[in-house]
């Protein structure tokens, strides 16, 4: 099939996750959204409605690919079939970024439904580095990796999460998708300072930010992606924008998907923070 190029190769402002509930509205109304993020694992089939709609959305908006299937932290061999499909979709839809997570989802070819955590060791830095380098070579571009939400830590970890991320960025040359909600959730669950975390991240390597909602459980915060962004995360986002500048930001809402208007309201809040920060520094 003839490749379809996204309209632009750069993004700015606050984008939204493309969800099937909103396909019709987006195509009929062409709302003023600067870009959409695609959960690319939902488009791996050979045809069907998702690809049909994606082709149309791409004619009007720049897109990014966000995935959960690379399993960069696995000790299984890389899934070359998955990466080949991803490359075909990249060539067809020309996303501005391709991202996945600092996590593993697969063992002995069995895929889980969760992003599972890694011990923060030198061995794990090297494992991820090797797999990211191979992935970037196959895809022919630099990928972004996303910091996880965490609920436990390993007694054999040799460094904190920021040092772990710094090690991977330095060795692999990949860039970072920094999820501000994930930092807050992990900081509350693990007892570290979310602001110090942001201050330790290399400024030039952050290419995208995520914002999402969490849920307060009895003894911990749970990263649900199913509500509006909470105030402490907006406060942390202000700090992130002050440090990194007006990095493209995504409102990430995956469960109990709300009306398009609700997503736009959240995007407008993020845009006002970006604007007020650039006015303050400009
Ligand atoms: Fe995220």
pLDDT tens for 130-168 read: 999 999 999 999 999 999 999 999 999 999 999 999 999
The pLDDT value given to residue 127? 97
The pLDDT value given to residue 281? 64
The pLDDT value given to residue 47? 79
Domains along the sequence of the chain with CATH: 14-276 (3.20.20.150)
Q: Which two three-digit tokens encode residue 157? A: 């970890």
CA of 2 relative to ligand 1 center, distance in Å? 31
pLDDT, averaged in runs of 10, over the chain (282 residues): 53 96 96 97 88 95 96 95 96 97 90 89 98 97 97 95 98 98 97 98 97 94 94 98 97 95 98 86 62
CA of 179 relative to ligand 1 center, distance in Å? 5
CA of 259 relative to ligand 1 center, distance in Å? 20
Distance (Å, rounded) from C-alpha 58 to C-alpha 175? 24
CA of 136 relative to ligand 1 center, distance in Å? 20
Cα-flanking dihedrals φ and ψ of residue 17, to 5°?
-70, 135
The pLDDT value given to residue 277? 80
Kindly list the distances between the CA atom of residue 245 and the CA atoms of 14, 79, 172, 198, in Å, as whole numbers in the listed order: 13, 36, 24, 13
CA of 278 relative to ligand 1 center, distance in Å? 24
Give residue for tokens 């061999």.
Answer: 77
CA of 252 relative to ligand 1 center, distance in Å? 6
The pLDDT value given to residue 108? 86
CA of 250 relative to ligand 1 center, distance in Å? 8
CA of 177 relative to ligand 1 center, distance in Å? 8
CA of 211 relative to ligand 1 center, distance in Å? 7
CA of 1 relative to ligand 1 center, distance in Å? 31
């Amino acid at each position: 099939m003839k490749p379809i190029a996204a309209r632009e190769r750069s993004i700015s402002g606050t984008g939204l996750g493309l969800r099937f509930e909103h396909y019709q509205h987006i195509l009929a109304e062409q709302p003023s959204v600067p870009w959409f993020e695609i959960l690319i694992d939902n488009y791996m089939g050979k045809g069907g409605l998702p690809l049909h709609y994606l082709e149309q959305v791409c004619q009007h908006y720049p897109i990014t690919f966000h995935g959960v299937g690379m399993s960069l932290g696995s000790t299984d061999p890389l899934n070359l079939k998955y990466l080949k499909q991803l490359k075909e979709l990249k060539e067809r839809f020309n996303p501005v970024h391709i991202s996945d997570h600092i996590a593993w989802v697969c063992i002995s070819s069995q895929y889980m439904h969760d992003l599972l955590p890694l011990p923060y060791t030198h061995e794990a830095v090297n494992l991820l580095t090797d797999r990211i380098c191979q992935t970037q070579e196959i895809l022919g571009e630099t990928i972004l990796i996303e910091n996880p939400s965490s609920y436990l830590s390993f007694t054999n970890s040799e460094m904190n999460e920021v040092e772990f991320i710094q090690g991977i960025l330095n060795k692999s040359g990949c860039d970072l998708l920094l999820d501000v909600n994930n930092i807050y959730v992990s900081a509350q669950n693990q007892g570290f300072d979310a602001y110090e975390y942001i201050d330790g991240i290399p400024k030039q390597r952050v290419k995208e930010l995520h914002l999402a909602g969490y849920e307060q459980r009895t003894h911990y915060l749970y990263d649900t992606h199913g509500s509006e962004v909470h105030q402490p995360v907006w406060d942390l986002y202000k700090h992130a924008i002050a440090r990194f500048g007006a990095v493209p930001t995504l409102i990430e809402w995956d469960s109990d998907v709300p009306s398009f208007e609700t997503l736009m309201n959240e995007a407008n809040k993020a845009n006002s923070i970006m604007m007020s920060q650039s006015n303050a520094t400009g």
